[in-house]
Every structure is written in structure tokens, then in C-alpha cells.
Amino acid sequence: MLQKVNNEILWPRFEDELTGVKLAIIGSVKTDVIPPLELVYAGYKLLTTYYPKKLEAIGLKPSDDTKEIYSEMMKFCEVKKFKKQGNLPDMDKAQRWFINYLRDLKGVTYD
């Protein structure tokens, strides 16, 4: 089944939201209709649960709390020097980087 999201996009309807998020993380479903921060939170929580060493390998502390994840991502902006005008953390760039990291991980399954 498809669910209308806006005038241009039909989004498949899934039994649970996590299925759609997992498919978006691996690139089977376009991520345009899911806010990037939601993908980051979901992917971060999945790695925390199943592959915490993958987060630790890039200097992030495993967590399933969204406030802690946001804080970790802000620190990650500093470490990676993701800055925007005014020397502010560029969370958009960090989110894109992390989503690509999730897609490119080896030895990880999102099933």
C-alpha cells in the first residue's frame, strides 16, 4: 500500500515505522520524506543496541536517549570540524555524514 505524503511523493505504508526507517537507512527508500535527524536518532539507537563498537569507533558514546544522542552529535560536529557561518556547529552536515556512515558500514545488518 502507498500513502500520500505530499503532492509528489507516495510513501509505502509499513506495519511499523522502524521498517521504513531501516529501508531508508540502507537506501531502499528515498530519505527525502523522513527528517534526517529522525534517521540519525533511529540509526544511532540501532547501533547502540546491536553494534555499540561501531559508534565508539567514531568517538560516539552509545545511547538510546534522544537528548544524549543530540548532545553526542553536537560534540561530533566539533570533532569533525563541521561548522557553518559564525563558527556554529553544522548539524545538517553531521547528519548527512552519519546517515552515509550508516549506509556504508560493513558487517552490519538492519533486519
Write out pLDDT tens, residues 27-54. Answer: 777 777 678 999 999 999 999 999 999 9
- Which is higher by pLDDT, 16 or 73? 73
Domains of the chain: residue spans and CATH:
30-104 (1.10.1580)
> For residue 3, what is the enclosing H or E element?
strand 2-4
pLDDT of residue 1: 41
pLDDT of residue 8: 52
- Which is higher by pLDDT, 4 or 94? 94
pLDDT of residue 21: 78
pLDDT value at 73 more than 60: yes
Average pLDDT over residues 69-82: 96
Q: Report d(CA 61, CA 11) in Å as an integer.
A: 33
pLDDT of residue 7: 52
- Which is higher by pLDDT, 70 or 35? 70
Decide if 90 contacts 81 (C-beta within 8 A): no
Quote the mean pLDDT of the chain.
85
